[in-house]
Structure 1
Amino acid sequence: MLYKGSCHCGKVAFEVKGEFASALRCNCSICSRKGALLSAVPHKALLVLAWGDDLGSYTFGSHVIAHRFCRTCGIHPFAEDVGEGNDRNAYINLHCVEGLDLAAMPVVDFDGRSA
C-alpha cells in the first residue's frame, strides 16, 4: 500500500510503500519528548518529497540515527539510519501519516534509554 504523510505545514512531505502492522513507542530521551509512534520500513520504501532548507537533521548519542524535522513547523515526520548500504531503515512517525487508525494499531514499547 502507498501511504502519504507530512509535517504540520506540509513543507516536508513523504510517501511510504509497505504496511504498518504495529507501532513502536521508544522511551529514549528524544522519542519520549516527541511522543512519536514509530514504524520501521526499509529505507528504499521511503520517498521524501521535500528536501533542501526545509528539512533539518538532529543526531545525538552514538549518532547512528538522523532525526529529521521541518525547519518551519518543527514536526519530526521520520528518522533514518545514517549508515550506508541496503540494510538501512527509515523510522516513520505514524502520527504524520494520513489515514491511519492508530487507536486500532498494536503498540510495542522499546527501551531506547538502555540501548
Structure 2
Amino acid sequence: MYTGECHCGNVQLKISHLTKTATRCNCSVCRRYAALWGYFTESEVEITVGKSGLESYEHGDRYISFHRCQNCGCMTHYTSTPKAQSDRVAVNYHMFPMAVISSVHVRHFDGADSWKFLDE
C-alpha cells in the first residue's frame, strides 16, 4: 500500500499499486497546478479527508473536478464528474514520497493544443 498526503496531512490518498506511467499535462489548469497525474478507478483509491475539508474546482466542459486541501492548498487529486460518465480518479503523485514515485515514467501530454502525448 502506498500513502500520500497533502502538506498538512488533512487529505490522505492510499493506492495499492503505482501506475507504470504518470502524466504531466500542459493544459491551462494542469500547468498552473504543476501536478503529476496517476490514473486510477474510484475503487482503486482510498481518499480520507480531515476536519479542514476539501475545495473543488471545475473548468470548461466540467468533466473533471479538481480537489485541493482547504487548509494547505495542495492539489491532491481530481475526480470525474457525473457528466463525464467515468469512474476515473487521478492522484497527484507529488503528494507521495519522492522515493516512491521515482520509478514511475513521466509522459508529457499536450492538453493545451494537440491532445496528444508529446513523447510518442
Shorter-chain TM range is 0.7 to 0.9
SS, match of residue 74 in structure 1: coil
Q: CA deviation at 1:82?
A: 1.0
Name 1:76's counterpart in structure 2.
Answer: 75
- The share of aligned pairs that are identical, in percent, is 27
| Equivalent residue letter for 1:63 | R
1: CA distance between counterparts of 2:73 and 2:16? 24
**Residue 18 of structure 2 corresponds to residue 6 of structure 1:** no
**Residues 3 and 15, structure 1, Cα contact 8 Å, conserved in 2:** yes
2: CA distance between counterparts of 1:39 and 1:101? 10
2: CA distance between counterparts of 1:20 and 1:40? 7
Range 31-40 or range 86-95, more displaced: 86-95
Q: CA deviation at 1:85?
A: 9.2
Range 70-79 or range 93-102, more displaced: 93-102
Q: TM-score, normalised by structure 1?
A: 0.86
| Equivalent residue letter for 1:19 | L
Q: How does 1:35-74 map to 2 (within 5 A)?
A: 35-50=34-49, 54-74=53-73
2: CA distance between counterparts of 1:85 and 1:71? 25
Q: How does 1:11-30 map to 2 (within 5 A)?
A: 11-30=10-29
**Residues 63 and 84, structure 2, Cα contact 8 Å, conserved in 1:** no
Name 2:118's counterpart in structure 1.
Answer: none
2: CA distance between counterparts of 1:18 and 1:24? 16
Number of residue equivalences: 113
**Residues 37 and 95, structure 1, Cα contact 8 Å, conserved in 2:** yes
Q: CA deviation at 1:24?
A: 0.4
For structure 2, which runs of at least 5 residues remain unmatched after alignment? 116-120
Deviations 1:56-94 (A, max 9, x none): 101101010010000111000111111279841111111
**Residues 14 and 45, structure 2, Cα contact 8 Å, conserved in 1:** yes
For structure 1, which runs of at least 5 residues remain unmatched after alignment? none
